[in-house]
A and B are shown apart, each in its own frame.
Chain A
Amino acid sequence: MTRRTGLRLIAVLVTALLAFGLVAGRLVHLQVVAPDHYASIGHAQRVRSIALPADRGALFDRNGHELALSVPQHTVWADPRLVTDPRAYAAALGPILDLDPEVVRERLIRTGAFVYLARQIDDERASRVRDLGLAGINVITEPRRFRPAGDLAAAVLGTVDLDNIGVSGLELHHDELLAGVPGELVVERALGGMTIPSGEHRLRPAERGADLVLTLDRSLQYEAERLLAEQIAATGAKGGMVVLMAPRSGDILAMASLRAGAGDDPTPRPTRDNMAVTTVFEPGSVNKVITLAGAIEEGLFTADDVLVVPDRLRVSTHVFSDHERHPPERWSVSDILTRSSNVGTIMIAQELGRDRFDAYLRRFGFGERTALGFPAESAGLMLEPGGWSGTSIGSLPIGQGVSVTALQMLLAYNVIANDGVYVAPRLVKASVDADGTHREARPAATRPVVSGPTAVAMTDMLVRAVEEGTGVRARIEGYPVAGKTGTARKPLDGVRGYKPGAYMASFAGFVPADDPKLSMIVVLDEPHPIYGGVVAAPLFADLARYALRHLRIPPGAAVVGEEPEPPPGTLTEPVPQPIQD
């Protein structure tokens, strides 16, 4: 062996030793120095955690008809890293997804590994996308919320966003219950994406959200919206509200809010805002019920007590008047309500006094949100007694200067219908868990407001107001109706005073008066004619007739016939005069 050969061998040996040393060092690094780091990288490459979205619970009406439910749809997403020809992809996908190809192309050239192209598309379009077989374009399934009856009760049911999170209405209010609990699937995946059978596998199933059975009745809701739309169109009103309830249970059977159409399409449309609980209005004469109930409850008057009622009355700086001029009349308390006398009501309120009257308004539920807890629900607007002006004892008893929601006003009438007991409203009758367990909602909370005799006396007066007074168009053949009309001026926005010529027309009542099964309030915004007795009372009667038939509530013993026409010379609702302090 020459010296040269020996050197070569030594060089080879050294090189081999160095190479092995590097390998050994790397091995030590991998296995000893940072084994957890590399193990976690490998784990992350193999193991996939897949979120399992929970099915959102459905909304049913009280008879089990679906009002809102979730159905799997398809979402198209792209991995821009795998897109080879964005322009050609965009040209192929744009027409299928109803998107401008340029918009699609812009999304396909973004950086990152995930971009939505179209969400929640139907089966047919998803199938066409799959058939294209484009690399980097994927279709996944995700649920979409549907309302099978269209816009029916839209404001009550509310909406969800693209991620199925409630954003308004009951969808928002009961989002936690409806949404359920997402699950998780952890699996080891091979390169091709297939699950490794003997690999890690953990499954935490998603818990489906609970279904809600509402108190709404789909048919009554439809009829309420239909009749309200007709009346809005017929009277040229800006909008309107109807709330129909079962007064004993507090169940809301229908709750409609519509606005007149705009532009070329005058058809009234359901609002997105549930105005019956979110919008306040000055109630006008329907508020007189509280004034008189308080006075009778306090023992100041009975229904038959007689007062001498002039047609005008000065209160502080303002003169209040009745709708029609008349000489001083000897009217009973019942007459005052039947004729809806402003002056007579104010005289009674003056006897009741500021503090007691304010207390009754609050006991009837004004000034606080109802138990519904509906999103954006209003508590109404009430002055503290200390903030009353000199004319407040004149304006508030006749329903001006106080603002309430339609639901609050109806609940006050329910107190009379329920023998003096306030029954909280409810929109949810029961819930059904994912395992099918049916849970009845808690019964509505109750509290006494006035005594039974007071409620009976008020009912008799309200029946007379319908039989002989301003509410005669609310009569229903065979059924005694108790109710009261209201025609109230609309306040100006943001400034003191009232809008000239603008009125809110209303009617609130219950039927059958001797055993109330239904109660209802109808409110129309700036109708023509302006009177509640003319525009709101007929709608009350029409919807009540339908509801009585639909719910199979039998008429009384009396033989009934054709619907009577209002007699000539029917009393019209007095219009409160502008209040100028």
Chain B
Amino acid sequence: MNAIPVPLRHRGAPAPGPVPPPAGRPSLRVVDDRHLRARARRRRVRAVVAVIAALAALSLLGMAAFHAALVEGQVELSRLEGEVADEQARYQRLRLRVAELESPERIVAAAQERLGMVPPPGVTYLSPSGPAGAPADTAPDAPGGDGVQAWAAVKSHLADRP
């Protein structure tokens, strides 16, 4: 059996037998495997507890953060829903406004009061005397003749337009 030096300070495990009084240096003793396994187990337990505690803390933090994000999202959603409702209401009001502006009563009133228009006293129907598409005797763009003169007369009113 090999002798194993006994540590100066050994916490926890009881001495395997009666320890002689110190005389110069501490007596060596044999450490049982059970002590080592127990110590290792305690370390693992501590580690697991620490990890679980850390995970729990992280989970709580995560949940808090998730909840905060959820609340923030809900607030944003409420805001957007409000905006949608406002825009829909605005669309409906504009639609009403367009319909009001298009109403015959308003147009007739504007035509009569602002533009001085009046309802026609009667309607005269015209009937074409010849076949449609027949060339006119004096087309405006015909070279020479009345067409050119007519064009020139019109052109003078166009000023610098092409």
Contact = CB atoms under 8 A, between A and B. Distances in A.
Contacts of A146: 96
B118 to A, nearest CB: 13
Interface size class of A (residues with CB under 8 A): 20 to 34
Interface string B102-113: 111100100000
Interface in A267-306: none
B85 interface: yes
Contact of B70 (A148, A194, A197, A219): A197
Interface stretch (B5-13, B39-47, B123-131): B123-131
Interface string B73-90: 111001000000100110
B67 interface: yes
A222 B99 CA distance: 14
Interface stretch (A331-339, A366-374, A560-568): A560-568
The main secondary structure of chain B at its interface with chain A is helix
Contacts of B124: 561-562
Interface size class of B (residues with CB under 8 A): 20 to 34
A478 B125 contact: yes
A152 B125 contact: no
A448 to B, nearest CB: 37
A182 B92 CA distance: 19
Contact of B104 (A70, A71, A149, A559): A149
B24 interface: no
Contacts of A70: 92
Contact of A195 (B74, B88, B92, B95): B74
Interface in A543-571: 545, 549, 555, 559-563
Interface string A476-500: 0110000000000000000000000
Contacts of B127: 559-560
B122 interface: yes
A149 B103 contact: yes
A195 B78 contact: yes
B146 interface: no
Interface string A495-522: 0000000000000000000000000000
A146 B88 CA distance: 16
B139 interface: no
Contacts of A141: 85, 89
A194 B71 CA distance: 10
Among B96, B99, B102, B105: residue with most chain A CB under 10 A: B99
Contacts of A222: 104-105, 108
B101 to A, nearest CB: 9
A164 to B, nearest CB: 14
A141 B93 CA distance: 13
B141 interface: no
Nearest to B104: A222
A152 B103 contact: yes
B4 to A, nearest CB: 58
A578 interface: no
B5 to A, nearest CB: 58
A561 B67 contact: no
A239 B73 CA distance: 63
Contacts of A197: 67, 70-71, 73-74
Nearest to B97: A148
A310 interface: no
Given A69-B92, A71-B89, A71-B92, A148 B100 contact: yes
Nearest to A478: B125
Contact of B96 (A148, A195, A223): A148
Contacts of B99: 65-66, 69, 148-149
A252 to B, nearest CB: 18
Interface of A: 65-66, 69-72, 123, 141, 146, 148-150, 152, 194-195, 197-198, 218-219, 222-223, 226, 477-478, 545, 549, 555, 559-563
6 contacts: A71-B96, A197-B74, A222-B104, A478-B125, A561-B124, A562-B122
